[in-house]
């Protein structure tokens, strides 16, 4: 059983099973296949935000406050990314880009504009990191002779069981 730590974040319960990634070890950058390290701080400085009125809960307050946050990131004009990284992002995030190749993400989950802004930035960083990650090449493996033999003997046993269930032929 995992140890239970006192409350670290704004979770609803008083205790939870610990932070997923300890705060002091949380990475501030991530690497790509070329070895180039993308600095999250530089990426965040290049972001543009738009706020609009959000649909959903809020009561009388909802018509006064712009709580929906839209994040805009121009991939082609980014100084934090190399040319190959830009190509990867353009190819892999094709469905999330508009005609000007600008990545558009939005968040209107909470009533707070600040919380929505934090969430959309986290979502942006996760999206970019996932798009830049190169999947490992699959190494084809061959089953061992004993496993092949076990599989065939179990198939024969099951087949024999089914043959034994049939009524005998009277010829």
What does the pLDDT read at residue 56?
A: 63
> What distances in angstroms separate CA 70 from CA 13, 160, 162, one per listed residue?
30, 64, 62
User: What is the 8-class DSSP label of residue 97?
Assistant: B
Q: Is residue 116 part of a domain?
A: yes
Name the token pair of 116: 């929505």
Phi first, then psi: what are they for 110, rounded to 5°? Answer: -115, 170
- If one counts the domains in the chain, the total is 1
Give domain status of residue 66, yes or no: yes
Intra-chain end-to-end CA distance of the chain, in Å? 64
Give the predicted TM-score (pTM) of the model: 0.60
pLDDT digits (tens, 9 = 90+) for 127-166: 888 888 887 888 989 999 999 999 999 999 999 999 999 9
Q: Is residue 9 part of a domain?
A: no
120, 69 contact by CB (below 8 A): yes
Q: What percent of the chain has pLDDT over 90?
A: 21
Q: Please indicate, yes or no, if residue 108 is contained in any of the structural domains.
A: yes
- 134 CB-near residues (< 8 Å, 6+ apart): 32, 33
Beta strands in 3-153 (DSSP E): 5-6, 15-16, 29-31, 37-39, 48-52, 68-74, 102-107
For residue 74, the domain's CATH number is 3.30.160.20
| Distances in whole angstroms, Cα of residue 73 to Cα of each of 121, 134, 138 | 11, 21, 33
Q: What is the pLDDT of residues 68-114, one digit of tens each?
A: 889 999 988 888 888 888 888 898 888 888 888 899 998 888 888 88
Structural domain that includes position 85? 29-132
Q: Tell me the sheet residues that pair with 81.
A: none
User: Would you say the C-alpha torsion 31, 95, 57, 65 has a positive or negative sign?
Assistant: positive
């Amino acid at each position: 059983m995992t140890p239970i730590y006192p409350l670290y974040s704004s979770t609803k319960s008083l205790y939870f099973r610990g932070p997923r990634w300890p705060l002091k070890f949380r990475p501030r950058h991530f690497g790509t296949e070329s070895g180039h390290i993308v600095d999250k701080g530089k990426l965040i400085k290049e972001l543009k935000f738009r706020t609009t009125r959000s649909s959903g809960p809020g009561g009388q307050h909802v018509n006064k406050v712009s709580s929906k946050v839209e994040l805009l990131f121009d991939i082609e004009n980014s100084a934090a990314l190399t040319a190959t990284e830009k190509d990867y992002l353009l190819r892999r995030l094709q469905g999330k880009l508009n005609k000007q190749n600008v990545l558009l993400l939005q968040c209107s989950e909470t009533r707070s504009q600040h919380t929505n802004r934090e969430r959309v930035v986290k979502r942006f960083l996760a999206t970019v990191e996932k798009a830049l990650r190169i999947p490992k090449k699959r190494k084809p493996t061959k089953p061992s002779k004993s496993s092949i033999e076990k599989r065939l003997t179990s198939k024969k046993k099951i087949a024999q069981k089914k043959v034994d269930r049939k009524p005998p032929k009277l010829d």
